[in-house]
Structure 1
Amino acid sequence: MTPAGRSDGRSSRWTEHRRARRVEFVAAAVESVRRTGPELAVEDVARTAGVSKTVLYRYFADKDELVDAVLERVSTEILLPRLLGELAADRPGDVDRLRAVVAAFVAIIEDEPALYRFAYAQAGRAGRADLVAQTEREVAEALAWVMGERLVDHGLDPAPTATWAYGVVGMVQLAAHWWSTARTVPAAELVDQLTALAWGGLSTLLPPAPTD
């Protein structure tokens, strides 16, 4: 092998090593947030990972970069798989599909309270990528596409579903965020209320169900 080839091989192994170490450190940060709460502390992440802060900062330029990496993990491995998975699942009717997605979002608040508070505490950070908003857009676009297909099946214009889908995502997110601290009703009742509100809008777009 030529010196250049050996150099390329070492560079590739070093790149993979850095990638693997970053994955480990992000996982440690996720566990740190789960254990200590939404205020991510670099010192606790380092302890969880079993390294010093100096080592941690060899892989992340600053705390903001670490926060962004944790947000991306929360979005791609927790929020989106659960929400889009429920949306893609085969359901007997549109109301059932809608209820499943709403229930999945409320369940995330119940199952991962610290990660949920961490993610939404970072929303709208000045000068940083807003991965929370990106996640909301992906869910809204998927919801619009699924329901748009239903309208197309009935020979109707699917355009209105975009407004409905973004409205539903915003409504569910804001109402559920308020509920996460207020807890005025049980989770199941919250899901029923939000589903009824969302379906009230969508049902005006769909043709009436056939009567016997």
Structure 2
Amino acid sequence: MQHYRLAALSICLTLASGCFESAPSEDGADEPDRFLQISEGQSLVDHAPVDFDVPLWPDGRIPYWFDDGTLSPDLGPVSAEHRRQVEAGMRAWEVATGGVIDFYPCERGVTCPADDDHYLSLRYSKRGYGCSVGRQPDPTDGYARFRFPTSRVLNESSILHELGHGIGLRHEHQRVDAFGWLDETAEATDEHLG
């Protein structure tokens, strides 16, 4: 059976407790030792964090819709170039997961699921990048959403990062058991945060 390694496309994102396979250490405690391999035919949902109540997308299929200006009338519809950039990020996630994740376009009110939180709406925002985690509505307007700035060229790593949230991934430091896996030291903090 062919295996796929989940690529580290997005800084700070992991599959929480499902990201690493555990191996007993010398003291008998489980420690993560390598990235999870997702076998062909398995669902990413099977490996999602169990310590968060994140509604995930059925079978890894994520319907999406680009705002035509109705959700952000003051910012207008998403441009063709921005659609291309975001869809390139979607393709990268699909390739990296061996097709376990599948983004597909839908037309709001026509081919999108009836419930607004059952598809990802992509729109402009004055506040920059952000995304709902998994298949859940944003509390401000009721849509599962991915928002991005109106700048001419979008940041590829930010697109990948936010799409990771849309898939259902959180930051590794947000794990319920984060302190069992992560150590914060003054030296590391100074080195990385100056």
* TM-score, normalised by the number of residues in structure 2: 0.24
Which structure is larger by alpha-carbon Rg, 1 or 2?
1
* Higher helix residue share: 1
The structure that is strand-richer by fraction is 2
Select the structure with the greater relative contact order (CA < 8 A; seq sep ≥ 6): 2
